[in-house]
């Protein structure tokens, strides 16, 4: 269970997140959407304890993000939009370090690393022989996702997790996300790939300019917006209804 009550964050004079009230039960896969600068990543950083709120409260499975941040980190897995890794370590060394930070015994850590990396088709030789600096973007993303799941978190926050993944890996990831939700994990999934969100998420939450503007099933949001797809509903709700027309006009100008 994730519970936000009046949660807000300001950067100087800019109000990045207006007071937000939100509850997400265990086992729900939620598409967390919004244009750039809407407050999505700010919310995730508040929920992980990376940022402190200016007002309001947030709890993750009963742990307050301000008063008990270490307990929150024990139950949260986080894949940031730009996942940094120690590029001089091999994949195995990096994942072993992450497991050690979570207090996972060496034998158990090795078993979990092998299970997850085999799912993503990363070979043992790649994990042990190559430094992360020599990995492709997609391979590093697989390592970042694996690192977020090693301690078997109860809540998982994915911020553009498909970045760099090829089609097969992206399909594997979507299957993994659905399976994790079925086992009772709470998942917040930020993505600009709205057709994936439409097909996989139980619920969609949309932020715009730091404010919650929509919350419900895909069907309810389509009905409210009067649009045939989540992408078109998103454009209408966030004030970009004329995006297609503007693009066509620009294309005509460029063709002159």
pLDDT recorded at residue 256: 63
**Predicted confidence (pLDDT) at residue 245 exceeds the cutoff of 60:** no
The domains of the chain are located at: 2-84+152-216
pLDDT band for 239, please (50, 70, 90 cuts): confident
What pLDDT, in 10s, does the model give residues 19-34? 999 999 999 999 999 9
Longest pairwise C-alpha distance within the chain: 65
Total Cβ atoms within 10 A of residue 98: 20
- Can you tell me the distance from the alpha carbon of 253 to that of 256, in angstroms, rounded to the nearest whole number? 6
Instruction: Give the count of beta carbons closer than 10 Å to the beta carbon of residue 196.
Output: 19
For the domain 2-84+152-216, what is the CATH superfamily, name and number?
P-loop containing nucleotide triphosphate hydrolases (3.40.50.300)
Give the mean pLDDT of the chain: 92
pTM: 0.89
**CA pair distance 120, 143, nearest whole angstrom:** 9
pLDDT digits (tens, 9 = 90+) for 55-81: 999 999 999 999 999 999 999 999 998
Question: For 109-166, what is each residue's pLDDT tens digit?
Answer: 999 999 999 999 999 999 999 999 999 999 999 999 999 999 999 999 999 998 889 9
């Amino acid at each position: 269970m994730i519970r936000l009550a009046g949660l807000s964050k300001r950067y100087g004079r800019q109000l990045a997140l207006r007071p937000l009230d939100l509850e997400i039960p265990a086992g729900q896969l939620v598409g967390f959407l919004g244009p750039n600068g809407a407050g999505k990543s700010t919310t995730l950083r508040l929920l992980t304890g990376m940022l402190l709120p200016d007002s309001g409260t947030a709890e993750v499975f009963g742990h307050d993000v301000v008063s008990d941040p270490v307990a929150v980190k024990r139950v949260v897995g986080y894949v940031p939009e730009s996942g940094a890794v120690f590029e001089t370590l091999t994949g195995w060394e990096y994942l072993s370090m992450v497991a050690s930070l979570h207090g996972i015994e060496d034998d158990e850590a090795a078993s979990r690393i092998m299970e997850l990396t085999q799912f993503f088709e990363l070979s043992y030789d790649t994990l042990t022989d190559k430094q992360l600096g020599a990995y492709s973007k997609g391979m590093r993303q697989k390592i970042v996702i694996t690192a977020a799941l090693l301690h078997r978190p109860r809540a998982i926050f994915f911020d553009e997790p498909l970045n760099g993944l090829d089609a097969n890996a992206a399909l594997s990831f979507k299957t993994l996300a659905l399976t994790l939700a079925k086992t009772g994990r709470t998942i917040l999934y930020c993505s600009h790939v709205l057709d994936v969100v439409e097909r996989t998420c139980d619920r969609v939450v949309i932020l715009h300019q730091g404010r919650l503007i929509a919350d419900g099933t895909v069907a309810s949001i389509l009905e409210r917006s009067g649009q045939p797809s989540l992408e078109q509903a998103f454009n209408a709700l966030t004030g970009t209804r004329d995006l297609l027309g503007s693009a066509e006009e620009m294309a005509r100008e460029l063709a002159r």
